[in-house]
Amino acid sequence: MKKRDVLNLILIVSLIFSLFSVPALGAEEERNGLEQAILVAKNIITIPDDYTDFTSGSNERDTSNGKVKIWRLNWAQKNGGNGFISASVGEDGFFYEYNKYNGDKESVVGLAQVTKDKAQALAEEFLKRAIPNYSEQMKRVDNNIYSNGEYNFVYQRFFNEVPVD
């Protein structure tokens, strides 16, 4: 009878300790995933020193490879600046989205600071950094080039000359 009570006590204590360790492991995994996403983003884009207000979140997205956890990373300017940078990086290491606004409304008024050819070269250089495995398969598919003071280019992946989503 005593052995049974001792065994029950050991099982109860083990159960209590296992309840405390599970959230810690989950939090550690979550933190590691966020850190990895930040590293991927910073290898592709540059975050200026004055963009110090950082927030993040995550959600799941359906992809061709199944559900993937996506980290939404946001950096904003401090000290009255309106600039922000946002990026989305998946746990699969893919760079899904990127947006940058420098906060300067005056910079979008007037003539473009770069030519169309230079803007397209910069876009293709960015593609090589963001999706190095697929950048050679990407082709520009849009006709709308200059609008509201900025160049917009749309690229799509092609495999054997067939468009791929």
So what's the pLDDT on residue 134? 87
Global model pTM greater than 0.85: no
So what's the pLDDT on residue 41? 93
So what's the pLDDT on residue 109? 54
Q: Name the band, by pLDDT with cuts 50, 70 and 90, for residue 125.
A: very high
The one-letter amino acid at 96: Y
Helix axes 116-130, 2-44, angle to 10 degrees: 160
Is pLDDT above 80 for 52? Answer: yes
Asked if residue 123 lies in contact with residue 153, where contact means CB atoms within 8 angstroms, the answer is yes
Spatial separation of the C-alpha atoms in residues 75 and 45, rounded to whole Å: 12
Mean pLDDT of 47-61: 91
Question: How far is CA 130 from its chain centroid?
Answer: 10
Mean pLDDT of 115-130: 89
Spatial separation of the C-alpha atoms in residues 113 and 64, rounded to whole Å: 38
Asked if residue 156 lies in contact with residue 137, where contact means CB atoms within 8 angstroms, the answer is no
Of residues 33, 31, 82, the one with CA closest to residue 53: 82
Q: Name the band, by pLDDT with cuts 50, 70 and 90, for residue 17.
A: low
Of residues 64, 65, 95, 101, the one with CA closest to residue 82: 101
So what's the pLDDT on residue 85? 93
So what's the pLDDT on residue 154? 87
Q: The tokens of 7 are what?
A: 């065994």
So what's the pLDDT on residue 114? 80
Spatial separation of the C-alpha atoms in residues 129 and 45, rounded to whole Å: 9
